[in-house]
Amino acid sequence: MSSSSTHNATSPESLEVRPFAKPRHVLDASGRILTVPDNWELLPPGDAALSRRIKADGPTWVVIEKKGNKRFSRGIWAPAQRIDALRADLALERADPSYQKKLDAGRQRRAKAEVAYTTDFRATILAYLAFHPRYQLAAAAMADRITAHATPVGSGTVARTKRIPIEQRAEAATIAWMRHQTTGYDHMTIARIKGQRREVRRQLAQRSKELLTHYPPALPSIRPPAPSKPRSLRPSDAEAGVFATDCEYPKIASGWM
């Protein structure tokens, strides 16, 4: 069936769908236009507990809007009667004082875990930088800034993933922070060609790692050596403002942050 046709779901199943311009219509993974069943309504995002129960209780259509690499929830389509019943059940539970105590205990537990992770992450960044003792103030300032940027819950940064070891997260977060703070990346005009942005990031990452070598590492260090011969940026690109000019690391040591 072509993407321009509309499909009426007689026996809805749980799906992840995308928004569509026409009211009460969505797009499925294959691009088909689906008509939302008449007895369904959209549960807006914002109540995580109710959303979990709605999805666990039966068929739903979870509306996700993708913007680049980010995903944004736009709500959940589900039978209106089921939403009303589960919302009423949850309201009764929340009125019980024991529910609030359980909620507070969970928040305290998560807050402690976040403090512990933030502390570990900052220490891992310092281990990656491994600046000589004479540059410890600069290293501490960098670690503070990178940690504050990368670790907040919901930030969507590499620091929040659990797919790679914390050492790799710290390295990636450091290089990403340097890309935005010590290069002209945010103001570059990059051609919309597949792989071009990744290539620009790769080249800037090489420059950042080379830049770190201006600060002799203390031993032991988990910082890998910079590429011996980093690929040069083309003069034409630099002249056109596509790439940043060489950064000066003394800015870090002199407390520019």
Both 11 and 41 in a single domain?
A: yes
Both 126 and 90 in a single domain?
A: no
Residue with tokens 């300032």: 141
Both 181 and 247 in a single domain?
A: yes
**Domain that residue 189 falls in:** 101-253
How many separate domains does the chain show? Answer: 2
Each residue's pLDDT expressed in tens, for the chain with a length of 257 residues: 444 556 665 557 899 999 999 999 999 999 999 999 999 999 999 999 999 999 999 999 999 999 887 889 999 999 999 999 999 999 999 999 898 898 899 999 999 999 999 999 999 999 999 888 888 898 899 999 999 999 988 888 888 888 899 999 999 999 999 888 877 777 878 888 888 888 888 888 888 888 887 776 665 555 565 555 444 444 334 333 333 333 333 344 333 44
| pLDDT at site 209 | 85
Single residue among 55, 73, 95 that ends a domain in this structure? 95
- CA 179/CA 134 separation, integer angstroms: 24
The β-bridge relationship of strands 33-35 and 6-8 is: parallel
Q: What is the DSSP string of 59-77?
A: --EEEEEEETTEEEEEEEE
| pLDDT at site 219 | 55
Q: How many angstroms from the chain centroid is the CA of residue 9?
A: 34
Both 108 and 228 in a single domain?
A: yes
**Residue 123 lies inside a defined structural domain of this protein:** yes
Both 147 and 248 in a single domain?
A: yes
Both 19 and 129 in a single domain?
A: no
Q: Which residues pair with 64 in a beta bridge?
A: 73
Both 231 and 129 in a single domain?
A: yes
Both 80 and 106 in a single domain?
A: no
**Residue 136 lies inside a defined structural domain of this protein:** yes
Both 195 and 112 in a single domain?
A: yes
**Residue 242 lies inside a defined structural domain of this protein:** yes
- Peptide linkage before 220 cis (omega within 30 of 0): yes
Single residue among 49, 74, 95 that ends a domain in this structure? 95
**Residue 1 lies inside a defined structural domain of this protein:** no
Whether the model pTM is above 0.85:
no
**Where do the DSSP E strands lie in the chain?**
6-8, 15-19, 25-27, 33-35, 40-43, 61-67, 70-79
**Residue 189 lies inside a defined structural domain of this protein:** yes
With vertex at residue 199, the alpha carbon angle to CA 242 and CA 175, rounded to the nearest 5 degrees, is 90
The β-bridge relationship of strands 70-79 and 40-43 is: antiparallel
Residues sharing a CB contact under 8 Å with residue 89, sequence separation 6 or more, in sequence order:
53
- CA 143/CA 247 separation, integer angstroms: 19
Contacts of range 196-199, beta carbons closer than 8 Å, 24 or more positions apart = none
Both 120 and 205 in a single domain?
A: yes
Both 114 and 186 in a single domain?
A: yes
Both 44 and 122 in a single domain?
A: no
Single residue among 70, 95, 120 that ends a domain in this structure? 95
